[in-house]
Structure 1
Amino acid sequence: MKATAKAHPIQGLIKYHGMRDEERRLPYHDSISVCTAPSHTKTTVEFRPDADEDVYLIGGEPVEGRGAERIEAVVDHVRGLAGFDHAVRLESENSFPSNIGFGSSSSGFAAAAMALAEAADLGLSRPDVSTIARRGSSSAARAVTGAFSHLYSGMNDEDCRSKRIETDLEDDLRIVAAHVPAYKETEEAHREAAESHMFQARMAHVHHQIDSMRDALFEADFDRAFELAEHDSLSLTATTMTGPAGWVYWQPETIAVFNAVRELREDEEIPVYFSTDTGASVYVNTTAEHVELVESAVADVGVDTDVWSVGGPAEILSESEALF
């Protein structure tokens, strides 16, 4: 009753914001994302019938407080599906920095859900597993199905699940990750989202954004898809900043990256667009042909960079790759 899984984090393209059901983490509206590779989370889980309590470790450190509660919600759901109450040991590690806006919760809960479902021998499809991962993080549902994926909203697991979107953009997309290490608290921002006076304005246009993004992906229209993602980042941030806490995640380096991207696009006609999730770090989306030039321009801002491509779905790894 042991399994190891790997999942890639997501970059939100049309992002969800706010939850109408916090326990099941049901979002107010649909969302679309793309997974980034080789960045990943690896997780090993083992159900232990003779153990007295659960053990959760991330990066070798015990998880406590709200983090442990979120993991427990996923573990308990799997135990309920499997029909047993065995204690579990869960160990996880990331290949990239967490809590700076690069989607570590998405890959973390996707890998956990995939490994838990395998260890419990549930025999589920990835869309099925996405409903398990969603209980830890709504974004994790899309990390389970991988690549470009669409999480549908709904009030139950049959409706609120993720499905992959096939598109020819998978091979050509390159993402320059601009690291701006400012800690952020995504969960609290989601909790108060509906209290922003901008939230209803976002709800009024997000459904059209979803339809437009799906169409751009089907047509493999790079500029239209990532222009939409850039504008959605601005919309999300406007809603976040106008909530009760007035969250402002962007840092001076964030704005400097935006300006560098716009200069490349306007002065040199390079296909390049910025995107942010809830954090200060920036995804800079471009094509394989132009990625070296773009990375150089972003690095000149004075931030650390990585170059990522599209990551696939969560997967089960061999026993030899287990963390314990």
Structure 2
Amino acid sequence: MIQKQFIPNTYKNTIEKGSYTWSSPSNIALVKYWGKKEHQIPENPSISFTLDNCKTITTLSFVKKNTDNFSFDIFLDGEKKDDFKPKIETFFKRIENYLPFLKAYHFTIETSNTFPHSSGIASSASGMSALALCLMSIEKALNPDMSEAHFIKKASFLARLGSGSACRSLEGDLVVWGKHKQIDGSSDLFGIKYPFHVHENFKNYNDAILLVDKGEKQVSSTLGHNLMHNHPFAQERFKQAHDNLSNLIKILKTGDLKNFIDLVESEALTLHAMMMTSMPYFILMKPNTLEIINKIWSYRQDTGIPVCFTLDAGANVHVLYPEKHTEKVNQFIKNELVVYCQNGHYICDKIGFGAKQL
């Protein structure tokens, strides 16, 4: 699938060497995507909150070379990581049509996360979006007439080819990825800023990430997505995601916290239900995941505070709540939920507004 709009004609400038640094955040989906077609195309649309504190900072240095191959070194927290190379090489091969300068330079990729690497937070979204932005900064220098809108759209398009959810990390505070009939401009090829009115209730949301299990996932996201191909409930799930996104448009407009909670928690549990009913089947939740969910339900019922949970494809729990309830919810987390976190670890985050060039 060659997307002509992203293939440059010629470059006006030449550059011998240089360096760019971007920070890009992680994100947490409210309506999940699970299942993808060829070329990282999602089976259904998704929408996410962009996070603020959980981010990747990447510096991309480059110098002209003569050999006709991909040439790069990658460092995480100052330590050389040759085991990351196959993933980056796959990414470069996917995007070479769109960035024809890739074989003209040797790259040094220096990256670090503001969250611990083993924290169980997926760093592929923040990492791939930061790298895509650094590469686009090179293209912008080669072609200075490029508009800001094209820069962001193409960066999101490239990030998607590295990690699907990475295309939702460039902007904020809400980003839609995947074609949806009610959202003009939505696309399977890149994320776009959510274009509709958002009620004040959802303007200052917090996300406390409870680290139930910091280990490597037993099942890679790629394998998990592929198991949707012959899944008995796949088509119904894709339809449900479209319907939930339609419902969420109304919820975000009216500020309906109760229906927001119902939809977001249902989406999280549906994601895991798809994993449990695929073949082969798998369970990524841990006993402590369920303990936390039940505690949240009891606390919400007892206090009326609109706190809810969502989950990624793992055991960790994202606790979502409006900022004005921060003090009480933090006390609840310390008193009742920390005991279920590995080594008592959790991360306090909030809605953010996307990537920044440093």
TM range (shorter): 0.7 to 0.9
Letter in 2 for 1:307: C
Alignment check: 8 A CA contact 2:22 2:57 kept = yes
**CA distance, structure 2, for counterparts of residue 2 and residue 68 of structure 1:** 20
> Residue in 2 aligned with 1:165?
194
C-alpha spacing 1:113/1:169, structure 2 compared with 1 (3 Å): farther
Partner of 2:250: 215
Does the residue aligned with 2:54 lie in a helix, a strand or coil?
coil
Give me the CA root mean square deviation: 2.3
Indicate whether 1:311 and 2:344 are aligned: no
Between 237-246 and 166-175, the greater mean CA deviation after superposition: 166-175
Structure 1 counterpart SS, 2:169: helix
- Matched positions, count: 312
Indicate yes or no: 2:172 matched with 1:141.
no
CA contact (8 A) 1:25 1:138 kept: yes
Structure 2 letter corresponding to 1:94 = N
Structure 1: how far apart are the matches of 2:326 and 2:66?
Answer: 50
Aligned partner of 1:8 among 4, 25, 29 = 25
Tell me what 1:104 maps to. Answer: 123
Q: Does 2:110 align with 1:75?
A: no
| TM-score w.r.t. length of structure 1 | 0.88
Task: Tell me, yes or no, if the aligned pair for 1:196 and 1:243 is still in contact at 8 Å.
Answer: yes
**1:147·1:313 contact (CA, 8 Å) conserved in 2?**
yes
Does structure 2 retain, via aligned residues, the 8 Å contact 1:176–1:291? no
Shifted more, 260-269 versus 298-307: the winner is: 298-307
Equivalent position SS for 1:125? helix
CA contact (8 A) 1:2 1:46 kept: yes
Following the alignment from structure 1 to structure 2, what is the Cα–Cα distance between the partners of residues 218 and 238? Answer: 29
Question: CA shift at 1:197, angstroms?
Answer: 2.2
Contact 1:8–1:37 (CA under 8 A) maintained in structure 2: yes
Deviation of residue 99 (structure 1)? 6.0
> What fraction of aligned residue pairs are identical, expressed as a percent?
24
Distance change (3 Å), C-alpha of 1:158 and 1:280 = closer
Structure 1 unmatched runs, 5+: 318-324
Q: SS in structure 2 opposite 1:17? A: coil
Q: Does 1:125 align with 2:151?
A: yes
Match of 2:15 in 1: none
| Structural mapping, 1:281-296, within 5 Å | 281-296=316-331
Alignment of 1:49 onto 2:84: no
Once the two structures are TM-superposed, the CA of residue 171 in structure 1 deviates from its matched residue by 3.4
Distance 1:260 1:79 in 2: 49
- CA offset digits 1:63-109 (Å, max 9, x no partner): 445x4333234434555434322232212111113465533111111
Match of 1:115 in 2: 134
Paired with 1:160 and 1:78, the residues of 2 have a C-alpha distance of 13
Say which SS state the counterpart of residue 11 (structure 1) adopts.
Answer: strand
Q: Deviations over 1:144-197 (max 9, x none)?
A: 12321000249xx96521111253455321112111124212222112222332
C-alpha distance in structure 2 between counterparts of 1:248 and 1:11, whole Å = 20
CA distance in 2: counterparts of 1:91 and 1:245, whole angstroms: 37
Structure 1 Cα separation of the partners of residues 240 and 188 of structure 2: 21
